[in-house]
């Protein structure tokens, strides 16, 4: 199966707009679950306001949040797919630019030193593009995630000492959630990366934070830690928008990598309650959009 750059460009444009306007079903279900469990009256009202905002935005074809974020595109290439990698990345960038100018969208991307805004949502190394290969025949999947600064600003890394054990990981995650407070617009998805090198650990935390609700860590010990940390975080009393209550996080997600015997990196990255993403799956039958 050959993937044409023009098709990728069109999909990249469409995905940016879809991600900003349509909240994935798993996040809506997460709101329903948290609302049913919430015991604080103020938190109940705040959750209700969030749910209403989502419904109004979708009904009126408006953005879910004014922050159009840093555009991230994750590409998964299956077996038997013919694609020009250089052209693929160029097409994604062009689609991102087109979405920003043609829709139009607020560009949130600037030069880190001059703060110059090109009004394309693009710049040096942006959009962020990750390419991976999967054991799936005749399939290419493109996932777009607009990562807002409210959640991205609450990113943390600690090079823990192995002798401190799992307790150090738990303490660090809880401390990070408390430090973030309401700045991440909770309820959040708390992504935790453990192991690898410092850069891989942070990337794992981002991957965990942007996973769909209901998914589990592939490692059994990591999955058990997810449950323990979710219970701990939701016992902190931060609550929706940091105003108190039980619903601090939809979930805590963990991703692991092997690491060196003399270190144990742990990173935290958070996703806000508007956990936006959209996907396009290319197969011989055509392009299918989803989440």
pLDDT digits (tens, 9 = 90+) for 71-96: 999 999 999 999 999 999 999 999 99
Give 265's pLDDT tier (boundaries 50, 70, 90): very high
Give 285's pLDDT tier (boundaries 50, 70, 90): very high
Neighbour-count burial of 89, counting CB atoms closer than 10 A to its CB (0-12 exposed, 13-18 middle, 19+ buried): middle
- Which pLDDT belongs to residue 266? 98
- Which pLDDT belongs to residue 121? 98
Give, for 146, the enclosing helix (H) or strand (E). strand 140-147
Whether omega before 127 lies within 30 degrees of 0, making that bond cis, reads: yes
Q: Model confidence over 220-229: pLDDT tens digits?
A: 999 999 999 9
- Which pLDDT belongs to residue 54? 97
Residue partners of 198: CB distance under 8 A and separation at least 6: 157, 159, 265
Please give the Cα distance from 64 to 225 (Å, whole number).
Answer: 31
Q: Model confidence over 100-150: pLDDT tens digits?
A: 999 999 999 999 999 999 999 999 999 999 999 999 999 999 999 999 999
Give 161's pLDDT tier (boundaries 50, 70, 90): very high
Q: How many residues does the chain have?
A: 291
Q: Provide the 3-class DSSP secondary structure of residue 73.
A: strand
Whether omega before 119 lies within 30 degrees of 0, making that bond cis, reads: no
- Which pLDDT belongs to residue 259? 98
Whether omega before 104 lies within 30 degrees of 0, making that bond cis, reads: yes
> What are the residue boundaries of the structural domains of the chain, listed by start?
5-20+64-148+276-290, 150-271
Q: Decide: 118 and 33 in contact? Cβ < 8 Å.
A: no
In this prediction, residues 274-285 reach a mean pLDDT of 97
In this prediction, residues 275-281 reach a mean pLDDT of 98
Neighbour-count burial of 108, counting CB atoms closer than 10 A to its CB (0-12 exposed, 13-18 middle, 19+ buried): middle
Q: Model confidence over 191-208: pLDDT tens digits?
A: 999 999 999 999 999 999
Q: Model confidence over 8-65: pLDDT tens digits?
A: 999 999 999 999 999 999 999 999 999 999 999 999 999 999 999 999 999 999 999 9
Q: What's the chain's Rg over C-alpha atoms?
A: 19
CATH number listed for the domain at residues 5-20+64-148+276-290: 3.30.1330
- Which pLDDT belongs to residue 152? 96
Q: Which residues of 201-228 are buried (b: 16+ CB within 10 A; e: fewer)?
A: bbbbbbbbbbbebeeebebeebeebbee
- Which pLDDT belongs to residue 269? 98
Residue partners of 185: CB distance under 8 A and separation at least 6: 150, 151, 241, 272, 273, 274
Give, for 169, the enclosing helix (H) or strand (E). helix 165-180
119 φ/ψ angles, rounded to the nearest 5 degrees: 60, 40
């Amino acid at each position: 199966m050959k993937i044409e750059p023009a098709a990728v460009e069109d999909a990249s444009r469409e995905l940016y707009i879809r991600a900003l306007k349509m909240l994935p079903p798993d996040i809506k279900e997460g709101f329903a679950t948290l609302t049913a469990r919430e015991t604080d009256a103020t938190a109940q009202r705040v959750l209700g306001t969030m749910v209403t905002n989502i419904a109004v935005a979708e009904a009126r074809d408006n953005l879910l949040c004014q922050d159009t974020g840093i555009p991230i595109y994750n590409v998964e290439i299956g077996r038997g797919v013919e694609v020009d990698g250089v052209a693929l990345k160029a097409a994604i960038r062009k689609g991102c630019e087109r979405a920003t100018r043609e829709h139009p969208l607020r560009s949130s991307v600037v030069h880190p030193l001059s703060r110059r805004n090109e009004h394309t949502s693009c710049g040096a190394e942006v959009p962020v593009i990750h390419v991976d290969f999967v054991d799936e025949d005749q399939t290419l999947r493109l996932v777009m995630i607009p990562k807002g600064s409210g959640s991205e600003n609450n990113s943390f890394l600690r090079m823990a000492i192995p002798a401190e054990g799992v307790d150090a990981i738990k303490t660090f995650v809880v401390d990070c959630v408390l430090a973030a407070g309401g700045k991440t617009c909770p309820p959040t998805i708390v992504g935790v990366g453990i192991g690898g090198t410092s850069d891989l650990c942070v990337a794992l935390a981002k991957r965990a934070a942007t996973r769909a609700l209901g998914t589990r860590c592939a490692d059994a010990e990591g999955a058990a830690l997810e449950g323990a940390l979710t219970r701990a975080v939701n016992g902190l009393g931060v609550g929706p928008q940091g105003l108190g209550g039980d619903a601090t996080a939809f979930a805590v997600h963990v991703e692991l990598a092997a690491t060196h015997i003399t270190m144990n990196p742990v990173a935290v990255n958070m996703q806000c309650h508007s956990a936006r993403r959209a996907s396009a799956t290319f197969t011989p039958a055509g392009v299918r959009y989803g989440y």
